[in-house]
A and B are shown apart, each in its own frame.
Chain A
Amino acid sequence: MNDREIVLARIRNAVLHKERHPGAYRAPDGPGGWDAFADRLTSVGGEPAGPYSPSAAGPALRLRATELADGGRIVAEASAAAEVGHGPWDVAPSGGLPHAFADVAVAIVRGEIACAENGAVAVCGADAPHRALAVLCRHLILVVDPKRVVTSFHDAFDGLPANALDHHHVTWISGPSKTADIEQSLVFGAHGPLTLDVFAIER
């Protein structure tokens, strides 16, 4: 017997196939909408901005990205650039090694859905094919549609596009990278971005 057969045989000796799944979980209503999300995002160390109209969003984003970059490189995923137009950013090229993003100061990435309960934004592989970009950068800006803010994490999972899993990853990001591994002192920017901005832009 190979290891697969050994393990499965051991399990079959131990299980009865009787315990039933409890069924779908229904969470109670709670505070929702952009304002509730913005409060939660602030509490986890992120910076909410907006909501902006499509015309006002471009200038605000350019200003913030330039300020954060402090002369460094700004890169936007194509999906985000399509929403916010031209700016002081390069659109992430297709192909090449992910290591090429190691010097990025500011990354701009489209978020699919935002969750008021925990301040998390879903970044889907379809919008962020350069997975490394959002973690290698020093500052991350996520762009979301304020109509795509949901209340609970259950709603957020339900709201993912049907084909979300077809593009390698879906990453929920709640605030900037952090650690408290040295004497419980909270430090932002453990490995990933030191700051996280979430721009709400009406579509």
Chain B
Amino acid sequence: MSARFDERAREVLPDDARVEWHDTAVFDLRRRRDLAVAEVPDWEALRGQAAAIKAHVLDHLDTLLVQFEEAARAAGARVHWAADAKSANQIVSELLAARDVHKVVKSKSMLTEECGLNDALEGRGIEVVDTDLGERIVQLANEPPSHLIVPAIHWSRHEVGELFHRTMGTPAGESDPERLTRLARADLRKHFLEADAAITGANFAVAETGSLVVVTNEGNADLGMSLPGLHIACMGIEKLVPSMSDLPVFLRLLARSATGQPVSVYTSMVTGPRADAELHIVLVDNGRTELLASDAHKRALGCIRCGACLNTCPVYRRAGGHAYDQPIPGPIGAVLAPGVRAKQGGAELAHASSLCGSCTAVCPVGINLHDQLLTWRGEVRTAGPGERIATRMAAWAMGSARRFDLAGRAARSVWGLLGRRFRGNPAEPWLSSRELPAHPGERFRDQWRERRGSADE
């Protein structure tokens, strides 16, 4: 992957046509969301309820986790704790190794993406088969997912057909989505029946009952949970809700926000293992408690991974998920990145936003995403030396009326040299898709005097 956001974006969406195509596909999800939301008269009340429940959960996370652990154990599950990704991967690896597992079927889990679990397991000779169709596509292509809900949204049907032909030996030239889906179904069904273990995430977990809630449209998590004799669920510690009656609040918001469906096809609530199987639950921190300790950012932990903020974001839609170079792209990814994954990318991502606030407007649990992005800009050192000098100069110029006037005069005299015509301009990448407006010819104060003067007469 390239070093810079805009360069990474261009790798996946290299030209205007491809950008337009991606933008349209992603915004279609936003449009479906709007239609579904319009059908729910109590939408805003529901959002408020969800935000309040999440605030309560995050402020009682210690007691709720202990309650969950006790209830899950009483139901027959084994509960493990992982302070970081390394520890989580080790717990899962050891569970699998101890049972001589060779093949694992995995359903979508952003947490395991974040932890790099697949690589860790494959390093130990365990075959991991991602079973969500979109995740399977990017796995076969050896790529990370580019969207929370539609991991291969940046792939065209022709490219998928070509990929399946190359990796699964399907007929060349096939590009019909229905036939391609059938071919993948047949291939994955074989893996499901052969697998020794299933790994899933958890969309929610219920503290009172020790239940896990796993949501899919394809039914892949259900096949995983119902076939092999071992089920390992990996979940972030923030996924709890206090009781069963809290679940419909979130479930009514989740699918409508994600794809515009009234609810996902399968909402599976699992309490304890099957009679003929083992259930292990891995509770993972991996930086979440750092966010929890931050008053400005803890609300981001309320995220239910619906993807609505991606679908509405003008930057995500035109840049694609890979530009973010994070397990979770889009506005929520940019908010979580500097905290959950203290990577260099975090600083850059705080700027991968127009701060238009559309993400905040659609977030079903009321996370103040654009406020948080702005806060991050202040917290992480985002500006390069050039920008810092320029900001300091601007502050100096604006510090006195006389200096400001002089600076304005100077700017007007060189205005024509700025912009894309001026080669070597440090702002060139920024100006490649923008043009400076024409300047008004005279300074604001002269215009003001003139207009006020005429109004006074």
Contacts and interface: CB of A to CB of B under 8 A. Distances in A.
A131 B285 contact: no
Contacts of A6: 83, 285
A171 B52 contact: no
A135 to B, nearest CB: 5
A18 B220 CA distance: 39
Contacts of B244: 157, 160, 165
Nearest to A178: B217
A103 to B, nearest CB: 11
A176 B65 CA distance: 34
Interface string A1-43: 0111011101111111111111011011010000000001001
Interface string A171-202: 11111111111111101011111000000000
Given A7-B289, A13-B293, A21-B242, A136 B263 contact: no
B440 interface: no
Nearest to B157: A183
B185 A20 contact: no
A168 B274 contact: yes
A185 B217 contact: no
A44 interface: yes
- For chain A, the bracket of interface size reads 35 or more
A199 B50 CA distance: 34
A112 to B, nearest CB: 12
Interface stretch (A47-55, A59-67, A69-77, A113-121): A113-121
A89 interface: no
B383 to A, nearest CB: 29
Contacts of B237: 7, 11
Contacts of B58: 15, 19
A120 B81 contact: no
Contact of B218 (A99, A131, A154, A179): A179
Interface in B248-275: 248-249, 251-252, 259, 261-275
A170 interface: yes
Interface in A72-92: none
Contacts of B270: 168-169
Interface in B178-217: 178, 180-182, 185, 188-189, 192-193, 209, 211, 217
A41 to B, nearest CB: 10
Contacts of A132: 223, 226-227
Interface string B277-321: 000000101000100110000100000000000000000000000
Contacts of B388: none
Contacts of B219: 135, 177, 190-193
A123 to B, nearest CB: 9
Contact of A17 (B59, B247, B272): B59
Interface stretch (B128-136, B396-404, B411-419, B424-432): B128-136
Nearest to B181: A187
**Helix, strand, loop or mixed for chain B's interface?**
helix
Interface string B224-248: 0111000000000100001011011
A191 B223 contact: yes
A24 B245 contact: yes
Given A28-B42, A99-B227, A102-B193, A181 B151 contact: yes
Nearest to B294: A14
Nearest to A136: B223
Interface string B53-64: 101101111110
A28 B41 contact: yes
Given A11-B65, A158-B245, A177-B265, A169 B81 contact: no
Contact of A165 (B193, B209, B252): B209
Contacts of A2: 81
Contacts of B274: 131, 168-169
Contacts of A120: 263, 267
- Interface-centre pick from A3, A179, A191 (highest chain B CB count, 10 A): A191
Contacts of A17: 59-60, 63
Given A11-B61, A20-B56, A172-B268, 13 more contacts: A3-B82, A7-B83, A11-B62, A11-B237, A11-B292, A13-B289, A25-B249, A99-B193, A169-B269, A177-B265, A178-B217, A181-B132, A192-B223
11 contacts: A3-B81, A25-B248, A99-B193, A169-B270, A169-B271, A171-B222, A172-B269, A174-B262, A181-B151, A190-B185, A191-B185
Instruction: List 4 A-B pairs, minimum CB-CB distance, nearest first.
Output: A192-B219, A190-B218, A118-B262, A185-B177
